[in-house]
Amino acid sequence: MKNRVAELRAERAWTQADLAQRVGVSRQSINAIETGKFDPSLPVALRLAKLFDLTVEDIFTDEQRRA
C-alpha cells in the first residue's frame, strides 16, 4: 500500500517522533508505515486522516487497484 505520510509530515516540519506522539504510536511504527513495511490498523489510519484533515483514501492508496 502506498501512502503520503512522509510527504504530509514533511509539509508540517514534523519529525517522525512528533507525528508518532500526535497519533499515539512509536516512532518506529511511523517509519515502518512511511517506508511501506507496515500497513497501519484502521484506528491508526483514521487518526492520521483526522490529524491531516484528509480522508484515509487521500493518504493511502492500494497499489493493486491502480494497476
CATH number at residue 11: 1.10.260.40
How many domains are there within the chain? Answer: 1
Name all contacts of 21-30 with Cβ < 8 Å and 24+ positions apart.
22/51, 23/47, 23/48, 23/51, 30/5
SS (HEC) of 45-61 = HHHHHHHHCCCHHHHEE
User: For residue 50, is it within any domain?
Assistant: yes
Query: By percentage, how much of the chain surpasses pLDDT 90?
Result: 90
6-36: per-residue pLDDT in tens?
A: 999 999 999 999 999 999 999 999 999 999 9
